[in-house]
Structure 1
């Protein structure tokens, strides 16, 4: 029985290594997508600035502190990114009604439209890549990735 455990451990190590390689490939593709999308929003935009815009769009108006926490990023860098986005008319900063010392960062209509246009090619590619996948397979992958992201055990039901 001890051999089975070692064999299972070895098999698990091989499987995890293969998963790491797949994630590496996926991250390379994702980085390329983010760089292309940033360029479509505004030529020369840094990918991190695009991520900032995307995060504010996804999670709604937020303070710089909340944004820094969500992205695990430096407030100084984020402040510069927000200033750039504001200069492009993609975000606004307004007083926070809860704490007047803070400002809420929100995506403008122009920002939302540019973000949608920038994401469109990637969304088409994802749909095309998964065209032969069943809805159940897509849902299962989503469940598995979520479990991995939060450190949980996937639902096996």
Structure 2
């Protein structure tokens, strides 16, 4: 990084504020998607419950503690959400073969089916939004977002 002058600092602050604004817009769209998808899985389902189902589907069987850590969510809320999902037949809990005191949460075939149906209306949206982008531009965006998410400087590991 070059010398930081007051002009450069003001420019950086403006750029970061514009990025924050863009993220805010993106998060609003994402929250709408999650709320809509939750309704499609089961009318009245809370978006946070849908996120729990989605995370277990994406990352495979996991304990409640691992799910709470991944979502940075309250274990009490997640326990109730998983019980609700279990009652609907969307997840199952089985003994953890590595720790018999714990149970693994797994998405059932019905859960995968409902998730797929819920995501279908939005499935191609990102693909379509990036239709005019080059593969390199998409890859660069992915690299930049990953670096931002994990606190790295892009291109340096």
Find the aligned partners of 2:102 and 2:4 in 1 and give their Cα distance: 59
The corresponding residue for 2:120 is 120
Cα distance, 1:100 vs. partner?
A: 1.1
- Rate the CA distance shift 1:4–1:59 in 2: closer, same or farther, 3 A: closer
Find the aligned partners of 2:26 and 2:16 in 1 and give their Cα distance: 15
The alignment status of 1:34 with 2:44, answered yes or no, reads: no
Q: Number of residue pairs matched? A: 154
**CA-to-aligned-CA distance 1:60-106 (integer Å, 9 cap, x gap):** 10111111111111111001100111111110001111111111100
The corresponding residue for 1:69 is 69
Over aligned residues, Cα RMSD in angstroms?
1.4
The alignment status of 1:142 with 2:142, answered yes or no, reads: yes
Please identify runs of 4+ aligned residues in structure 1 that moved more than 2 A.
none
Find the aligned partners of 2:141 and 2:70 in 1 and give their Cα distance: 24
TM, length-normalised to structure 2: 0.94
Cα distance, 1:4 vs. partner?
A: 7.1
**CA-to-aligned-CA distance 1:8-64 (integer Å, 9 cap, x gap):** 111111100000000000000000000001011111100000000011111110111
The alignment status of 1:104 with 2:85, answered yes or no, reads: no
Cα distance, 1:123 vs. partner?
A: 2.1
The runs of 5 or more residues in structure 1 that have no matched partner are none
Find the aligned partners of 1:72 and 1:13 in 2 and give their Cα distance: 28
TM, length-normalised to structure 1: 0.94
The corresponding residue for 2:45 is 45
Cα distance, 1:131 vs. partner?
A: 1.1
The corresponding residue for 1:13 is 13
Find the aligned partners of 1:37 and 1:135 in 2 and give their Cα distance: 28
The more displaced of 82-91 and 4-13 is: 4-13
